[in-house]
Amino acid sequence: MADEAIPAATLIMVRDRPAGPPELLMVERAEGMAFAAGALVFPGGRIDAADRALAEKLGIDPHAVAAIRETLEETAVPVGLQPTPDVDAAHSLQRALLADRPLAAQLVEHGLTIDADTLTPFARWVPKFHAVRRFDTLFFVARAPDGEWQPSVIEGECAGASWLTATEVLDRDRRGEARLIFPTRRTLERLAQHGSFDEIHADARGYPIEPVSPWVEERGGERFITIPSHLGFPVTEERLDGLWRG
């Protein structure tokens, strides 16, 4: 395994409901993927050279570009784009990106710009205990675009995508009906505390964005994966035995 973590970005898209906690856009990773195969995660992926070039041109963070692009590729739900494209245009963007056509060219073709201010940093995960592939991932939170956006997935990119509350995903995990990697579970526990996007946004703004690099502690003959206690996560440890690492 290379010592240097792969730069990446993830987007937590939040959709308020008239009643009850907000829903989050989750994707199920395809079983054949090298990292976290079959896991429920937030849309996202590594930063590529085209993301960096576009970010430099626009004077914005390449993590934001990658988060927007990956979410479009995986779900066709647009966020961070002005004006918000309609469903047909969003699906056209998805098809073009999956055909390796650059996002920069698609923005020009559709008359769109990136509004990076709609994405707020939430956390930065840099796990060191992963045995397959290690990422340095900046998590963003953003409000879902207006309208009833149904995610559209392309075979090979994701196995599925849906809107779920944080509590629903955690309950599925406890029942063995879903698989979660450590950073996703800790993030969902933090999100489950809140009843609206505004509350989640305030939470994101209320804590520092520092690398979260879990470590192992041993107490009473048991080993725990542990994270810092000052970064907003209500659960800061999990038994190492049986921990699924993707």
| CATH number for region 6-205 | 3.90.79.10
Pair 106, 96: CB distance under 8 Å: yes
What are the residue ranges spanned by the domains of the chain? 6-205
pLDDT of residue 15: 98
Show the tokens assigned to 85: 């494209």
Show the tokens assigned to 167: 């509590």
Cα angle 153, 83, 14; round to 5 = 50
Query: In 3D, which of 171, 185, 138, 212 has the Cα closest to residue 39?
Result: 185
Q: What is the value of pTM for the model shown?
A: 0.92
Return the amino acid letter for 155: E
**Model confidence at 32, in pLDDT bands (50, 70, 90)?**
very low
- Give the side-chain half-sphere CA count within 13 A for 170: 17
pLDDT of residue 31: 52
